[in-house]
Amino acid sequence: MNVSELSDKIKQLLEVSLTLLRYASEFEKLYKKYKPSDKLSYDKYSKSKVPTLLRFFHCSFFFDALLNLNTLLKPLQKNPNKKELSFYELLNELNDSELKEKLLPLVNKLRDELTENNIDKFRNKFVGHKDLSTSIDSNILYLNFIAVKTFNTSYRITESLNEICIKHFDVPQNNSFLSYYNPSFSYLLTDFEKNFHHHLL
């Protein structure tokens, strides 16, 4: 796969990830908008239909985006059968040594941020590999919103990779995935909010 094809596929994966993270955030915002302040009401609220769905969608969207992010920053693979849509694979295909020298430290820094915040381990232990030693009940996995630091760091790294891709490679500037799915996701949020009080009863 040449640089043009690989950068285009990577850009598509970034578009998916950014869209998923954007709406994962929107689901949490809607949840918090109607969250009661007193404990008794909150207990009822948190177990009702719409809030439960909002937490589930938030986690599901984040987990998918997280799998993509780890793929995008996967180290260069020698085995051709294990190569993925990684920035390291893209840089390896570059003939422009000056550009490669410029971008490699940027990508390395983002990967360091990923590992320093244990986001790669989060993916490996809970989402991707589901190790026997760390696997948890699936009900718990979708029970709570993702920790703010983990979510924000993942979002920031993904946005930074997208900026690198747009600035240095011949890829579309817009997010075609978002354009396609935005009406549907927006409808979902609007429908949830419109029927919120009904579902809480």
* DSSP 8-state code for residue 83: -
- Decide if 150 contacts 119 (C-beta within 8 A): yes
CA 89 to chain centre: 20
Q: For residue 195, is pLDDT > 90?
A: no
pLDDT band at 12 (very low <50, low <70, confident <90, very high): very high
Buried b (16+ CB within 10 A) or exposed e, 70-89: bbbbbeeeeeeeebebbbbb
Give me the DSSP letters along 162-183: HHHHHHHSS--SS-HHHHHHHH
Based on the number of CB atoms within 10 Å of its own CB, is 111 exposed (0-12), middle (13-18) or buried (19 or more)?
Answer: buried
- Phi, psi angles (nearest 5°) of residue 72: -60, -25
Q: Over range 110-115, report the average pLDDT.
A: 94
Domain boundaries, the chain: 3-200
Instruction: Give the pair of three-digit tokens for residue 97.
Output: 């040594």
3-state secondary structure of 119: helix
Q: What is the pLDDT of residue 186?
A: 93
Residue 173's CB: how many other CB atoms inside 10 A?
7
Give exposure, 3-19, as e/b (b: 16+ Cβ within 10 Å): beebbbebbbbbbbbbb
Encoded tokens for 43: 């207990």
Per-residue pLDDT of 120-165, as tens digits, reads 776 555 554 455 555 555 666 677 899 999 999 999 999 999 999 9
Structure confidence by residue, pLDDT tens digits, 27-51: 999 999 888 888 878 888 888 888 8
10: tokens are 């990577």
Q: What percent of the chain has pLDDT over 90?
A: 60
Residue that has been written with the tokens 């997280």 in this structure: 66
Largest distance between two CA atoms of the chain: 63
Give this prediction's pTM.
Answer: 0.87
CB 122 within 8 A of CB 157: no
